[in-house]
Structure 1
Amino acid sequence: MLYQEKHRPQLHFTPKENWINDPNGLVYYEGEYHLFYQRNPHANDHADMHWGHATSTDLYHWEEHGIALAPDELGAIFSGSAVVDKNNTSGLFENGSGGLVAIFTHDGKSQQQSIAYSEDKGRTWTKYEGNPVIPNTKIKDFRDPKVSWHEESKQWVMVLACGDHIQFYGSPNLIDWTYLSSFGKEYPSHIGVWECPDLLYLPVENSSKKEWVLIVSINDDGPNGGSAVYYFTGSFDGKEFHPNEQPEDALKWADTGKDFYAAVSWDNTEDTYWIGWMNNWQYAGAVPVSPWRSAMSLARKMTLYEKDGNLFLKQEPIIDDNNKEAVTYRNIGIQTETAESYEISDTGQVDLQISEASDSTKWGVNFVTDQDEVFCLEVDKEDTYTFYRTEGFIDFSEDFPKEIKGSLHGLGIQELKVIIDRSSVEIFINNGLSTSTNLIYPKGTVRRLEIFTVNKALQIDNITWTNLNSIWK
């Protein structure tokens, strides 16, 4: 049956077949969320890059469409963004009512920025005859334009990845671009190349404040190795980004798992949502799946949380509320010599509320298959958590089965949400203040949840298991 292959995600977007990677061109327009993405329509590896296309009305169920943008004489179609040019600033729309404009990297003899436009809700695209709009002859890695309208300076602002730093450009019309400033050369984590930047203006919870957030994906210097996403908070004046963090400060990681990368946000939405590519370049071309390769994470709503003057990214996964079957257990006490076990499936959500009266400082959750494979999340109440995926299919990469650690930001743990799919585990701690996204490839099928404590008694106010039906049905 279609979309029912071994390890095929049931809660996450995948194409019917062949390779995908970075999400591109995320934009909301006339009732539809558009998800474009890096796409090889001919094979299961990273080559011959096009833009694929899918749409959704709820950020959860997706309909796959055909190819949106294909390579041409300027090169392959690498990552980029899309905006609603509602006032026809570009002059590209003959009817004057505006439409969608895609801004992307042409990867040929060099990497250059080009545009295309659509007058039929993103189904077909016309490339601008004057491409590229930002030529490049000097910088090797010069790509992934993310564009948005900056109201205060009345211009389109582009954030562009340039190897070891970010460049900002401004334009009145999406065609004529002026260099504004650069950021980042003095900051650490330059082992890997900077990619897929984003510039967001996010609300700070429980206040009337908003803060600018600069997103950077980096390939090969993540907190657990390989690909990862980090962020800076600060201010943006229409020309320069001024960070709160200094170069000597620890980097703030958006997700400390192994498999959340190239995440960018949707344009033209009231709240801010983003989505990431659920893979890691350490083993992306070797993961044991077919006839597709790679999936997107769940879409997530983004806000900021402030504690002791520090700002932390907060992420809430988007799930269809009309697609749930839940059971709740209350007032659970667990001793060190026992574990509580619950029957679950391989597609659903676990929610735990930890009692303030609980004595345990180290405890964990096991996801166990019908072949007794164990995928374990262990929590150290003081500061850290660790995810173990040492079982199942792991021999395709020596980097895959290593321990995956994350931080609780000194906040302890009160709430845990884990969303499990056939080949992934997405962890959200303290309502998404700490997140960890990780692939798994069990030989069997997850059927049991076990909760255990390592040292002292663990008291849980409630445990809820929510079975989530397939998005493909």
Structure 2
Amino acid sequence: MCAADPRVSGGQLRRALRGLVVAVVAPVLVLCACTPPHDPRPAPSPLTSYAEPWRPQFHYTPPDGRLADPNGLVFDAGEWHLFHQQGGTWAHAVSPDAVHWTTLPNALQHDDLGQALSGSAVVDGANTSGLFDGPDGGLVAIYTSTTGGEAQSLAYSSDAGRTWDRYGGNPVIPNDGRKDFRDPKVFWHEPTRRWVMAVSLGDEIGLFSSTDLLDWEELSRFGAGHGLHSAVWECPDLFPLRVDGDPDQVRWVLTVSVGASDATDGSTAQYFVGDFDGTTFVRDPAVPPETVQETDVGQDFYAAQSYEQAPDGRRVWIGWMGNWRYPYSAPTRPWTNAMSVPRDLGLRTVDGQVRLVQAPVPELGSLRGEPTRIGPRAIGPDTVLPFTGSTFELETEIETRGARRVSVRLLESRDAAERLVEAVEVGYDDGQLVMDRTRGGTTGFSVRRSVPYHPRGGVIRLHVLVDESSVEVFVDDGALTGTMVVFPKRDGRGMSLTAEGGDPRVRELTYWPLRSIWR
């Protein structure tokens, strides 16, 4: 990144050096830390064990409280910052590797302008905003305030996001009578030398620009006639990616989450691939406007946001594993909801169409225990696998060989007669990719999701991450991704394969237990 980039300054080097001393401390130290009496922000609960029923062991959860949308995702000075919605405030955690997290006190509380709803953060390293005392700049958070209608406001931090000041001229984009006007995602657009904001406007996305993060002008809008419009559009993101890794083939991706509706049995998310010239986003004209490209084909991946300035030119994002059909109904205490694992993003040409592809970040490999591998074997109606666990990673290739249905059953439990009682099922069913938790446990979460899927060369390739209360599936190297939360009533730790018809076989299967990030 060139020195002329306004996000970068010599001060970042000094912050990076300070960042080298930031380490993940043992949870007991974090949870017992006390907030000074004059600081009104709550400290993490000292009562959390991170061992409660259904508590994820390698996904981020807050010590307590209700987690929702990821906010302000930015990499700075060696730290991955994860802010997230929690009761209309910005809760905060940091990580050196996007895997092991330290929870910090809340960053943004309510103020005279109401709640601090979803938004983004940038490194204003050249102090384009003039909000910082010196030339080194700092972090700027752009979020939605609520008093007088949804509007866009700023806060800024000179100490690596540990403390924040509100901008005295908030809101920087007032509400002009709009009902839905929220979730600003801001990034620096180098060709036009200005900041760009994508923000939700009902069921469209508005694009705004600014040279200083304070004064904004509207550029254009996108959405009318494109994709799914069954509910409000929320939490937009806009970023460039190489197609098939080719640096000469760069396209822009606009992602939006779509609120709960009967049409999608809750909330969902979609993306558009096209071009952005600094003013207007134009979808690929080869894709019919009504085409809906889902970000995730499961039930529980919402409000995903990507990291600004992720290292090595990567585009990494995280989503809220939840759904507005049941946003805070999980039977968990003292926390509710979790984030997905961080995922690397790319664009790949699949069957002549450019698709968004996702993969778990390689840093998760640090959690792997010793692998166990099994070789070729036939799959019958109930083929029990020699693994048990509720926090693990699995990769497998399965040859369908004429089978009508073949799938993996996870987090399963059986009765005394070894009959299946509970399980989450992932696999192929007569031309469909299926994620089924109708026998997954807790009532109120029964759902079966399916999308068209034809295994390439008759081989199903699955990469699966299972935690205490979630299943994330990456199919054919991330060409399809599915996310489900699940709350087994019993001690579901078994695994099996099942099939109907044909002569399906496991080509290979590898299983890794995954260590907890909390202990």
> Are residues 1:159 and 2:236 paired?
no
User: What is the match of residue 438 of structure 2?
Assistant: 390
Question: Structure 2: which 5+ runs fail to align?
Answer: 1-47
Q: Give the Å deviation of 1:381.
A: 6.9
User: What is the match of residue 424 of structure 1?
Assistant: 470
User: What is the match of residue 45 of structure 1?
Assistant: none
Change (3 A) 1:409 1:30: farther
Given candidates 379, 388, 404, the residue that maps to 2:449 is 404
- The 1-side partners of 2:390 and 2:73 are apart by 29
1:251-278 deviation per Cα after TM superposition (whole angstroms, max 9, x unaligned): 0001011110000100012200000001
Change (3 A) 1:413 1:26: farther
Given candidates 317, 323, 329, the residue that maps to 1:274 is 317
1:30-54 deviation per Cα after TM superposition (whole angstroms, max 9, x unaligned): 00000001013xxxxxxxx110000
Amino acid at match of 1:130: G
User: What is the match of residue 130 of structure 1?
Assistant: 169
Matches within 5 A, 1:285-300: 285-300=328-343
> How large is the Cα RMSD of the aligned pairs?
1.9
1:325-353 deviation per Cα after TM superposition (whole angstroms, max 9, x unaligned): 23333432214455142222000011102
Q: Give the Å deviation of 1:116.
A: 0.8
Matches within 5 A, 1:322-341: 322-337=366-381, 339-341=383-385
Indicate conservation of the 8 Å contact 2:210/2:216, yes or no. Answer: yes
Q: Give the Å deviation of 1:108.
A: 1.8
Higher mean displacement: 445-454 or 275-284: 445-454
- The 2-side partners of 1:160 and 1:471 are apart by 34
> Are residues 1:10 and 2:57 paired?
yes
Amino acid at match of 1:265: S
Q: Give the Å deviation of 1:393.
A: 4.1
Matches within 5 A, 1:62-461: 62-208=101-247, 209-221=249-261, 224-244=264-284, 248-269=289-310, 270-318=313-361, 319-337=363-381, 339-355=383-399, 358-367=401-410, 368-369=412-413, 372-380=420-428, 383-395=431-443, 397=444, 400-408=445-453, 411=456, 413-461=459-507
- The 1-side partners of 2:478 and 2:202 are apart by 30
Change (3 A) 1:366 1:331: same
Indicate conservation of the 8 Å contact 1:105/1:143, yes or no. Answer: yes
Higher mean displacement: 4-13 or 448-457: 448-457
Higher mean displacement: 318-327 or 261-270: 318-327
Indicate conservation of the 8 Å contact 1:334/1:452, yes or no. Answer: no
Change (3 A) 1:402 1:183: same
Change (3 A) 1:352 1:206: same
> Are residues 1:465 and 2:511 paired?
yes
Indicate conservation of the 8 Å contact 1:147/1:157, yes or no. Answer: yes
Q: Give the Å deviation of 1:359.
A: 4.2
Indicate conservation of the 8 Å contact 1:345/1:448, yes or no. Answer: yes
> Are residues 1:30 and 2:77 paired?
yes
- The 2-side partners of 1:348 and 1:224 are apart by 30
Change (3 A) 1:179 1:422: same
1:270-319 deviation per Cα after TM superposition (whole angstroms, max 9, x unaligned): 20000000111101122211110111011100001113431111111125
1:87-129 deviation per Cα after TM superposition (whole angstroms, max 9, x unaligned): 1111111111111000000012200101111000000001111
Q: TM-score normalised to the size of structure 2?
A: 0.85
Change (3 A) 1:302 1:382: farther
- The 1-side partners of 2:121 and 2:296 are apart by 24
Indicate conservation of the 8 Å contact 2:270/2:294, yes or no. Answer: yes
Indicate conservation of the 8 Å contact 1:224/1:258, yes or no. Answer: no
Q: Give the Å deviation of 1:373.
A: 3.4
Amino acid at match of 1:425: V
- Larger strand fraction of residues: 1
Amino acid at match of 1:228: T
User: What is the match of residue 100 of structure 2?
Assistant: 61
| Secondary structure of the corresponding residue to residue 152 of structure 1 | helix
| Secondary structure of the corresponding residue to residue 360 of structure 1 | coil
Indicate conservation of the 8 Å contact 1:262/1:277, yes or no. Answer: yes
Change (3 A) 1:392 1:251: closer
Q: Give the Å deviation of 1:382.
A: 6.5
Q: Give the Å deviation of 1:465.
A: 0.9
- The 1-side partners of 2:140 and 2:245 are apart by 35
1:164-192 deviation per Cα after TM superposition (whole angstroms, max 9, x unaligned): 10000000010111110011122242221
| Secondary structure of the corresponding residue to residue 189 of structure 1 | coil
- Larger helix fraction of residues: 2
Question: Structure 1: which 5+ runs fail to align?
Answer: 41-48
Equivalent pairs, count: 461
Indicate conservation of the 8 Å contact 2:227/2:291, yes or no. Answer: no
Amino acid at match of 1:323: L
Change (3 A) 1:206 1:171: closer
Indicate conservation of the 8 Å contact 2:79/2:96, yes or no. Answer: yes
Indicate conservation of the 8 Å contact 1:14/1:292, yes or no. Answer: yes
- The 1-side partners of 2:190 and 2:430 are apart by 43
